Amino acid sequence: MPNHWWIPKSVGGPASSSGSTGPPAEAPAGQVINYGERQELGGHYRRWISNPSKPNCPVQPNQLTILGLGQQFNVEIWQETPANPDLINLFQALQLIPATFPHDQSAYRSYEFNSFLMMSWRAFVGPRVLIIEEMHRSDARMPYVSEVSLAVYGSDYLLDTLRHVIITSVVNEETLSCLSTQVHSNVYWSDDWWRTWEHGTPEYDTLLGTPVGKMVASMALGGFPRGTKKISRINTVSNWDGLTAHFHFEIVPGAVEG
C-alpha cells in the first residue's frame, strides 16, 4: 500500500501511484441503492446525532472516566510517537501535530489495557485525534468501546476538541463484509482502494450501521450534546487481500438537522 493512503483524492485531483484520480465514492447520479436494514440503522444513528428531538436514542451521555477505567483495569500509559509511516504522512495531510522523536518529546500518548479474553483496547491520543489500533469486547459486563474511547481522550483533552477518530487494521467480519461485498461492489471501481463516503449518502449510512460505524456514532452521541456535532464523512482504505481495512471518521461542528 503506498504511503499516501488516506490523503483525500477527488476527480481532477492529484493522481495516485497507479495514475488514477479515482471517481467519486457515491453511486452514479440517479442510481439509488438500498442496502437494507444496515443502511436503515445507520440512518437512525445519523439522525440521532444531528437531531436531539429524534426519539428512542439508545446512547446516553458518557459517564466513564479514566479513573473509573483504572479501577477495572491495569491501564498502561506512556508517551510515544506513532512510528507507522502511513500515519505520519496522514498527520501532515490533516495538519495534525507531527510525530516527534525521541518519544519523550512527543505530543502523543499510548494507552493500553486488556482483561483476558473479555476486553482489550490500545490507542494513541493526540491533539484532535484518537487512533485506535485494537478494540475487542466480548463480555457484556465490560464497558462499551465507545465509552472507553471517550474516557481516554477526555483524560488528555477536552472532548469538544476531538476531530478525527482513526481505526487501523479493522478485522470485524461484519464490517469488512459490508465494505467489500456491499458498498464497494456498488460504486465505480478503480484501483484506488481509498474512498470517501459523504454524510447522508446511502453508503455513509450503511457503513455507520456496521459495528465499527456504530461504535464511533456512539462516541458522538455519548460525548457531545446532540445536534452540536456530526460525522461529516467516513474515509476507508481496504487492503489488497480484503482481510483488513482502515477507517477514518471526521467530526465537525454541526447544526440541528431534521
For residues 130 and 87, is the Cβ–Cβ distance under 8 A?
no
Rounded to an integer, the average pLDDT of 187-204 is 75
For residue 222, the model assigns a pLDDT of 98
**pLDDT score for 31:** 55
- Percent of the chain clearing pLDDT 70 (strictly above): 83
Q: Can you spell out the DSSP letters for the chain?
A: --TTTTS---TTS---TTS-----SSPPTT-----THHHHHHHHHHHHHH-TTSS----PPP---HHHHHHHS--EEEE-----HHHHHHHHHTTPPPP-SSGGG-S-EEEEEEETTTEEEEEEEETTEEEEEEEEE--TTSPPHHHHHHHHHHHHS-GGG--EEEEEEE--HHHHHIIIIIIGGGS---S--EEEEETTSHHHHHHHTSHHHHHHHHHHHHHS-TTSEEEEEEEEEE-TTSS-EEEEEEEEE-----
Q: At 150, which amino acid appears?
A: L
| Mean pLDDT confidence for 193-198 | 81
- Report the pLDDT value the prediction gives residue 196, as an integer from 0 to 100: 86
Per-residue pLDDT at 245 exceeds 70 = yes
C-alpha dihedral (198, 200, 203, 206), degrees to nearest 10: 130
What is the side-by-side strand order in the sheet with 164-170?
A: 76-79, 109-115, 119-126, 129-137, 164-170, 245-253, 229-238, 194-198
* pLDDT, the chain, mean: 84
Q: Is the pLDDT of residue 13 over 60?
A: no
What is the rounded average pLDDT of the residues 50-65? 96
Position with higher pLDDT, 34 vs 220: 220
* Residue given cell 459517564 in the structure block: 63
Residue extents of the structural domains in the chain: 37-253
Q: What is the mean pLDDT of residues 55-64?
A: 96
Which cell is 18 given? Answer: 497507479
Which pLDDT score, from 0 to 100, does residue 28 have? 52
Query: Per-residue pLDDT for 67 more than 50?
Result: yes
33 or 164, greater pLDDT: 164
Q: What is the mean pLDDT of residues 241-256?
A: 86
**Which pLDDT value is given to residue 102?**
76
